[in-house]
Amino acid sequence: MGYNVAIDGPAGAGKSTIAKRVAKEMGYVYVDTGAMYRALAIYFLKKGLKPEETEKIVEACKEAEVTIGYEEGMQQVYLNGENVTRMLREEAVGNMASVSSAIKEVRAQLLELQRELARTKDVVMDGRDIGTNILPNADVKVYLTASVETRAKRRYLELQEKGVECNLEEIAHDIEERDHRDMNREIAPLKQAEDAVYVDSSDMTIDEVTEAIKALCK
Ligand code: DC
Protein backbone atom coordinates (compact mmCIF):
# COMPACT_ATOMS: atom_id res chain seq x y z
CA MET A 1 0.00 0.00 0.00
CA GLY A 2 1.33 3.42 -0.90
CA TYR A 3 1.19 6.49 1.34
CA ASN A 4 -2.12 8.16 0.54
CA VAL A 5 -3.06 11.82 0.83
CA ALA A 6 -6.70 12.57 -0.06
CA ILE A 7 -7.77 16.12 -0.88
CA ASP A 8 -11.46 16.76 -1.46
CA GLY A 9 -13.37 19.97 -1.89
CA PRO A 10 -15.59 22.02 -4.18
CA ALA A 11 -14.71 23.31 -7.67
CA GLY A 12 -12.21 26.16 -7.65
CA ALA A 13 -10.92 25.68 -4.10
CA GLY A 14 -7.39 25.28 -5.47
CA LYS A 15 -7.20 21.51 -4.99
CA SER A 16 -5.19 20.75 -8.11
CA THR A 17 -2.69 23.59 -7.63
CA ILE A 18 -2.11 22.58 -4.03
CA ALA A 19 -2.15 18.83 -4.63
CA LYS A 20 0.42 19.22 -7.43
CA ARG A 21 2.69 21.29 -5.19
CA VAL A 22 2.43 18.92 -2.24
CA ALA A 23 3.10 15.92 -4.50
CA LYS A 24 6.15 17.55 -6.07
CA GLU A 25 7.65 18.68 -2.78
CA MET A 26 6.98 15.37 -0.99
CA GLY A 27 7.98 13.16 -3.95
CA TYR A 28 4.52 11.65 -4.32
CA VAL A 29 2.50 11.13 -7.51
CA TYR A 30 -0.35 13.56 -8.18
CA VAL A 31 -3.61 11.92 -9.24
CA ASP A 32 -6.32 14.22 -10.58
CA THR A 33 -9.57 12.20 -10.46
CA GLY A 34 -11.66 15.06 -11.88
CA ALA A 35 -9.64 14.61 -15.09
CA MET A 36 -10.86 11.01 -15.31
CA TYR A 37 -14.51 12.12 -15.11
CA ARG A 38 -13.71 14.78 -17.66
CA ALA A 39 -12.21 12.17 -20.04
CA LEU A 40 -15.41 10.12 -19.90
CA ALA A 41 -17.35 13.36 -20.46
CA ILE A 42 -15.34 13.95 -23.65
CA TYR A 43 -16.44 10.54 -24.87
CA PHE A 44 -20.11 11.32 -24.18
CA LEU A 45 -19.84 14.70 -25.92
CA LYS A 46 -18.07 13.13 -28.91
CA LYS A 47 -21.02 10.77 -29.24
CA GLY A 48 -23.34 13.79 -29.32
CA LEU A 49 -25.00 12.91 -26.01
CA LYS A 50 -26.72 15.48 -23.80
CA PRO A 51 -26.09 15.52 -20.04
CA GLU A 52 -29.71 14.50 -19.34
CA GLU A 53 -29.52 11.34 -21.51
CA THR A 54 -28.64 9.11 -18.58
CA GLU A 55 -29.47 5.76 -20.18
CA LYS A 56 -27.39 6.49 -23.25
CA ILE A 57 -24.52 7.65 -21.05
CA VAL A 58 -24.66 4.39 -19.09
CA GLU A 59 -24.46 2.45 -22.38
CA ALA A 60 -21.69 4.64 -23.81
CA CYS A 61 -19.70 4.24 -20.63
CA LYS A 62 -19.13 0.55 -21.41
CA GLU A 63 -17.21 1.47 -24.57
CA ALA A 64 -14.92 4.01 -22.94
CA GLU A 65 -11.68 3.10 -21.27
CA VAL A 66 -9.80 5.72 -19.29
CA THR A 67 -6.15 5.18 -18.42
CA ILE A 68 -3.51 7.50 -17.10
CA GLY A 69 0.19 7.91 -17.58
CA TYR A 70 2.87 10.47 -16.75
CA GLU A 71 5.01 12.64 -19.01
CA GLU A 72 7.70 14.62 -17.24
CA GLY A 73 5.78 14.17 -14.01
CA MET A 74 2.53 15.53 -15.50
CA GLN A 75 -0.56 13.36 -15.47
CA GLN A 76 -1.78 12.45 -18.96
CA VAL A 77 -5.25 11.05 -19.51
CA TYR A 78 -6.01 8.61 -22.32
CA LEU A 79 -9.47 7.85 -23.65
CA ASN A 80 -9.46 4.54 -25.52
CA GLY A 81 -5.74 5.06 -26.06
CA GLU A 82 -5.96 8.66 -27.29
CA ASN A 83 -4.31 11.37 -25.19
CA VAL A 84 -7.15 13.82 -24.40
CA THR A 85 -5.31 15.86 -21.74
CA ARG A 86 -5.46 19.11 -23.72
CA MET A 87 -9.26 18.99 -24.04
CA LEU A 88 -10.03 18.33 -20.38
CA ARG A 89 -10.41 21.89 -19.15
CA GLU A 90 -13.03 23.02 -21.68
CA GLU A 91 -16.16 24.46 -20.08
CA ALA A 92 -18.55 22.06 -21.86
CA VAL A 93 -16.47 19.13 -20.68
CA GLY A 94 -16.62 20.34 -17.06
CA ASN A 95 -20.37 20.74 -17.23
CA MET A 96 -20.88 17.29 -18.76
CA ALA A 97 -18.52 15.80 -16.13
CA SER A 98 -20.41 17.44 -13.30
CA VAL A 99 -23.72 15.93 -14.47
CA SER A 100 -22.48 12.51 -15.65
CA SER A 101 -20.35 11.94 -12.52
CA ALA A 102 -23.60 11.64 -10.56
CA ILE A 103 -24.40 8.40 -12.43
CA LYS A 104 -23.60 5.19 -10.52
CA GLU A 105 -22.16 3.33 -13.53
CA VAL A 106 -19.89 6.23 -14.42
CA ARG A 107 -18.44 6.28 -10.89
CA ALA A 108 -18.07 2.50 -10.80
CA GLN A 109 -16.05 2.64 -14.01
CA LEU A 110 -13.35 4.78 -12.38
CA LEU A 111 -13.29 3.42 -8.84
CA GLU A 112 -10.84 0.55 -9.42
CA LEU A 113 -8.45 2.67 -11.46
CA GLN A 114 -8.26 5.17 -8.59
CA ARG A 115 -7.84 2.53 -5.88
CA GLU A 116 -5.22 0.65 -7.88
CA LEU A 117 -3.10 3.79 -8.25
CA ALA A 118 -3.24 4.39 -4.50
CA ARG A 119 -2.34 0.76 -3.78
CA THR A 120 0.80 0.84 -5.85
CA LYS A 121 2.10 4.38 -5.41
CA ASP A 122 2.51 7.17 -2.84
CA VAL A 123 -0.18 9.56 -4.05
CA VAL A 124 -1.81 12.88 -3.49
CA MET A 125 -5.25 12.28 -4.97
CA ASP A 126 -7.78 15.07 -5.35
CA GLY A 127 -11.49 14.88 -6.08
CA ARG A 128 -14.85 14.92 -4.34
CA ASP A 129 -15.14 11.52 -2.64
CA ILE A 130 -11.55 10.42 -2.13
CA GLY A 131 -11.48 10.60 1.67
CA THR A 132 -15.08 9.47 2.10
CA ASN A 133 -15.36 6.71 -0.46
CA ILE A 134 -12.35 5.86 -2.62
CA LEU A 135 -9.62 5.80 0.05
CA PRO A 136 -11.40 5.64 3.42
CA ASN A 137 -8.10 4.60 5.05
CA ALA A 138 -5.99 7.38 3.54
CA ASP A 139 -3.08 8.44 5.75
CA VAL A 140 -3.99 12.12 5.44
CA LYS A 141 -7.37 13.60 4.55
CA VAL A 142 -7.97 17.25 3.79
CA TYR A 143 -11.20 19.06 2.98
CA LEU A 144 -10.04 22.11 1.07
CA THR A 145 -12.54 24.87 0.45
CA ALA A 146 -12.90 28.63 -0.06
CA SER A 147 -15.84 31.04 -0.25
CA VAL A 148 -17.87 31.16 -3.48
CA GLU A 149 -16.72 34.76 -3.92
CA THR A 150 -13.04 33.85 -3.69
CA ARG A 151 -13.39 30.86 -5.98
CA ALA A 152 -15.28 32.90 -8.58
CA LYS A 153 -12.63 35.63 -8.49
CA ARG A 154 -9.82 33.12 -8.95
CA ARG A 155 -11.57 31.56 -11.94
CA TYR A 156 -12.30 35.01 -13.39
CA LEU A 157 -8.63 36.03 -13.20
CA GLU A 158 -7.53 32.70 -14.66
CA LEU A 159 -9.86 33.12 -17.66
CA GLN A 160 -8.90 36.76 -18.14
CA GLU A 161 -5.25 35.78 -18.22
CA LYS A 162 -6.07 33.36 -21.02
CA GLY A 163 -7.87 36.18 -22.85
CA VAL A 164 -11.29 34.53 -22.47
CA GLU A 165 -14.29 36.92 -22.21
CA CYS A 166 -16.09 36.26 -18.94
CA ASN A 167 -18.46 37.66 -16.38
CA LEU A 168 -17.81 37.38 -12.64
CA GLU A 169 -21.47 36.98 -11.69
CA GLU A 170 -22.00 34.20 -14.23
CA ILE A 171 -18.93 32.39 -12.96
CA ALA A 172 -20.18 32.64 -9.36
CA HIS A 173 -23.56 31.33 -10.46
CA ASP A 174 -21.95 28.35 -12.27
CA ILE A 175 -19.86 27.57 -9.20
CA GLU A 176 -22.93 27.59 -6.96
CA GLU A 177 -24.78 25.32 -9.35
CA ARG A 178 -21.88 22.88 -9.53
CA ASP A 179 -21.49 22.87 -5.73
CA HIS A 180 -25.17 22.09 -5.40
CA ARG A 181 -24.96 19.20 -7.86
CA ASP A 182 -21.76 17.77 -6.37
CA MET A 183 -23.02 18.02 -2.77
CA ASN A 184 -26.56 16.79 -3.29
CA ARG A 185 -26.20 13.84 -5.63
CA GLU A 186 -27.25 10.46 -4.28
CA ILE A 187 -24.01 8.60 -4.86
CA ALA A 188 -20.76 9.70 -3.24
CA PRO A 189 -21.74 13.35 -2.72
CA LEU A 190 -19.07 15.87 -1.84
CA LYS A 191 -18.80 16.19 1.92
CA GLN A 192 -16.09 16.44 4.51
CA ALA A 193 -14.94 13.05 5.83
CA GLU A 194 -15.23 12.87 9.62
CA ASP A 195 -11.48 12.48 9.98
CA ALA A 196 -10.54 15.11 7.37
CA VAL A 197 -8.76 18.32 8.30
CA TYR A 198 -10.81 21.36 7.20
CA VAL A 199 -8.78 24.02 5.39
CA ASP A 200 -10.41 27.25 4.18
CA SER A 201 -8.02 28.80 1.66
CA SER A 202 -9.99 32.06 1.15
CA ASP A 203 -7.41 34.14 2.99
CA MET A 204 -4.37 31.92 2.56
CA THR A 205 -1.61 31.98 -0.03
CA ILE A 206 -0.70 28.90 -2.08
CA ASP A 207 2.50 28.58 -0.02
CA GLU A 208 0.58 28.68 3.25
CA VAL A 209 -1.89 26.01 2.18
CA THR A 210 0.91 23.82 0.80
CA GLU A 211 2.88 24.07 4.03
CA ALA A 212 -0.22 23.35 6.15
CA ILE A 213 -0.87 20.13 4.23
CA LYS A 214 2.77 19.06 4.13
CA ALA A 215 2.86 19.41 7.90
CA LEU A 216 0.13 16.73 8.11
CA CYS A 217 2.19 14.26 6.05
CA LYS A 218 4.73 11.82 7.48
O1 DC B 1 -12.38 18.69 -10.17
P2 DC B 1 -12.96 18.84 -11.55
O3 DC B 1 -13.65 20.17 -11.78
O4 DC B 1 -11.97 18.54 -12.64
O5 DC B 1 -14.11 17.71 -11.64
C6 DC B 1 -15.02 17.66 -12.71
C7 DC B 1 -16.33 17.05 -12.22
O8 DC B 1 -16.12 15.67 -11.88
C9 DC B 1 -16.92 17.71 -10.97
O10 DC B 1 -18.04 18.51 -11.27
C11 DC B 1 -17.32 16.60 -10.07
C12 DC B 1 -16.79 15.35 -10.67
N13 DC B 1 -15.88 14.62 -9.78
C14 DC B 1 -16.44 13.68 -8.96
O15 DC B 1 -17.65 13.51 -8.94
N16 DC B 1 -15.64 12.92 -8.16
C17 DC B 1 -14.31 13.10 -8.16
N18 DC B 1 -13.55 12.34 -7.37
C19 DC B 1 -13.73 14.09 -8.98
C20 DC B 1 -14.55 14.85 -9.79
What percent of the chain is modeled with pLDDT above 90? 89
- Is residue 97 in contact with ligand 1, taking CB distance under 6 Å? yes
pLDDT score, position 158 = 87
Give the closest residue (by CA) to ligand 1 atom 6: 34
Task: Please return the burial class of 146, using the count of CB atoms within 10 Å of its CB with bins 0-12, 13-18 and 19+.
Answer: buried
**What's the CA-to-centroid distance between 101 and ligand 1, angstroms?**
7
**What's the CA-to-centroid distance between 107 and ligand 1, angstroms?**
10
Indicate the pTM of the whole model.
Answer: 0.93
pLDDT score, position 195 = 97
- What is the average pLDDT across 154-158? 91
In whole angstroms, how large is the CA radius of gyration of the chain?
17
Express each pLDDT in 33-92 by its tens digit.
999 999 999 999 999 999 999 999 999 999 999 999 999 888 999 999 999 999 999 989
Report the CATH number of the 4-214 domain. 3.40.50.300
pLDDT score, position 73 = 84
- Is residue 179 in contact with ligand 1, taking CB distance under 6 Å? no
- Is residue 127 in contact with ligand 1, taking CB distance under 6 Å? yes
pLDDT score, position 218 = 78
- What is the average pLDDT across 199-217? 97
Express each pLDDT in 4-22 by its tens digit.
999 999 988 999 999 999 9
Give the closest residue (by CA) to ligand 1 atom 7: 98
pLDDT score, position 164 = 87
Query: Which of 38, 40, 53, 18 has its CA nearest to residue 90?
Result: 38
- Is residue 98 in contact with ligand 1, taking CB distance under 6 Å? yes
**What's the CA-to-centroid distance between 91 and ligand 1, angstroms?**
13
**What's the CA-to-centroid distance between 99 and ligand 1, angstroms?**
9
List own/partner pairs for 16-19 with CB under 8 A and 24 or more apart. 16/126, 17/206, 18/144, 18/201, 18/206, 18/209, 18/210, 18/213, 19/124, 19/125, 19/126
- Is residue 51 in contact with ligand 1, taking CB distance under 6 Å? no
Give the domain ranges of the chain: 4-214
**What's the CA-to-centroid distance between 118 and ligand 1, angstroms?**
18
Q: Are 188 and 33 in contact (CB under 8 A)?
A: no
- What is the average pLDDT across 106-114? 96
Express each pLDDT in 125-144 by its tens digit.
999 999 999 999 999 999 99
